């Protein structure tokens, strides 16, 4: 995909374009390098669902699995070896971007979702994955559960760059930013440097509309509110970002070389076909932000993307939308709790599927 005016304009507005996909075929075919070299894509995100789909759909992993079967290594070790290899290779493809920009060129690898509610286990696995991949342009993805907050602080204090994932509510987002700042402060107290430490906070979009639309249907109140809450929620998240990263607390860290924790818009593929297929990109334009897109959304925006108003111009409207949704009888606290639980469970299910697939491949290659 050649860089076109739509993607160039998006990048110029301050939105970093990342790809929400990774597979060995994408790397070995040269397609990822092509997306990077034409400057369309400056980062990559992954999750257990993406890896489960990649491994089950390709024979590119057969030789590596065969070698591991001969060595009779455990399924867990095999799984981490496979995913770390793909992420390491992707990091190498993105390395020129990291050198050019200093901030982008990152590839994300997630801790096991099974430890999402165990702070110590999450932090331990984050440290292990950081060591295993051994690339400075890696992000370790940590879910934004309550327990995950402590793991974020610990990991940042250890000098590990973190992509905080599965954020749905403004309350949790503020806690995530606090966890990041606390990690930076702890690292300084321990005598460490803040050089090279990066973080993004992945705020999920489409799932919010899916759940709130369903509840609006149940209430039968004002169907015109459908399809508006996800964008409004994200816009208010950016307002929170602006507030935190202009605070006195932040300025102290900034003088020590800290980098802001950029908001990342995730789950930006539109699930309701009645909505414009680029709305979760074109209506979330803001400086110093990231939008990670599945390839279909990336292509759609390149073809017919049309940027809307910058986020800072939409705060009043966003607040009115969220108030109207609550007034319609939608319990937003419950919505966000349900979405977090479902998000963790979906990744656990994908992880289990991935584990079983690798287990089966190891048996077949013995």
Question: Catalytic amino acids?
Answer: 141
Query: In angstroms, how far is CA 201 from the centroid of its own chain?
Result: 7
d(CA 168, CA 233): 8
d(CA 224, CA 245): 34
According to DSSP H, which parts of the chain are helical? 5-12, 24-28, 31-37, 48-56, 62-70, 75-101, 119-133, 146-157, 170-189, 206-219, 229-244, 248-255, 279-282, 295-304, 315-327, 332-365
Cα angle, residue 151 at apex, residues 266 and 250 outer, rounded to 5°: 75
d(CA 324, CA 319): 9
316 half-sphere exposure, CB direction, 13 A CA radius: 1
155 half-sphere exposure, CB direction, 13 A CA radius: 36
Collapsing DSSP to helix, strand or coil, 93 comes out as helix
d(CA 126, CA 118): 12
d(CA 115, CA 117): 5
β-partners of residue 43 are: 106
Say if residues 161 and 140 touch (Cβ distance below 8 Å): yes
Say if residues 225 and 321 touch (Cβ distance below 8 Å): yes
Q: Closest by alpha carbon to 318, among 216, 213, 233, 221? A: 233
């Amino acid at each position: 995909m050649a860089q076109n005016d739509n993607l160039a304009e998006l990048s110029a507005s301050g939105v970093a374009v990342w790809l929400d996909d990774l597979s060995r075929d994408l790397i070995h075919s040269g397609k990822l390098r092509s997306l990077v070299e034409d400057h369309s894509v400056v980062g990559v995100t992954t999750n257990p669902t993406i890896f489960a789909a990649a491994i089950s759909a390709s024979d590119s992993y057969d030789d590596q699995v065969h070698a591991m079967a001969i060595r009779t290594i455990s399924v867990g070790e095999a799984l981490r070896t496979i995913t770390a290899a793909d992420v390491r290779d992707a990091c190498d493809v993105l390395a020129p971007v990291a050198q050019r920009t200093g901030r982008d060129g990152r590839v994300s690898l997630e801790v096991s979702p099974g430890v999402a509610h165990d702070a110590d286990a999450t932090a331990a696995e984050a440290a292990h994955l950081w060591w295993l991949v051994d690339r400075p342009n890696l992000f370790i993805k940590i879910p934004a559960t309550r327990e995950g907050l402590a793991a974020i602080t610990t990991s940042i204090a250890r000098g590990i760059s973190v992509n905080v994932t599965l954020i749905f509510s403004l309350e949790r987002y503020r806690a995530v930013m606090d966890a990041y700042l606390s990690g930076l402060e702890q690292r300084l107290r321990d005598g460490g440097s803040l050089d090279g430490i990066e973080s993004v906070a992945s705020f999920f979009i489409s799932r919010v509309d899916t759940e709130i639309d369903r509840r609006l249907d149940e209430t039968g109140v004002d169907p015109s509110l459908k399809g508006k809450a996800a964008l409004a929620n994200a816009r208010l998240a950016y307002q929170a970002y602006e507030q935190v990263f202009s605070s006195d607390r932040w300025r102290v860290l900034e003088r020590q070389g800290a980098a802001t924790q950029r908001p990342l818009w995730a789950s930006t593929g539109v699930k309701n076909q009645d909505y414009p297929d680029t709305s979760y990109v074109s209506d979330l334009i803001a400086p110093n932000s990231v939008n990670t897109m599945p390839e279909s959304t990336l292509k759609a925006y390149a073809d017919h993307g049309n940027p809307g108003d910058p986020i800072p111009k939409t705060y009043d409207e966003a607040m009115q939308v969220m108030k109207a949704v609550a007034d319609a009888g939608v319990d937003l606290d419950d919505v966000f709790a349900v979405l977090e639980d479902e998000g963790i469970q979906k990744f656990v299910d994908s992880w289990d599927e991935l584990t079983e697939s690798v287990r089966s491949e190891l048996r077949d290659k013995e």
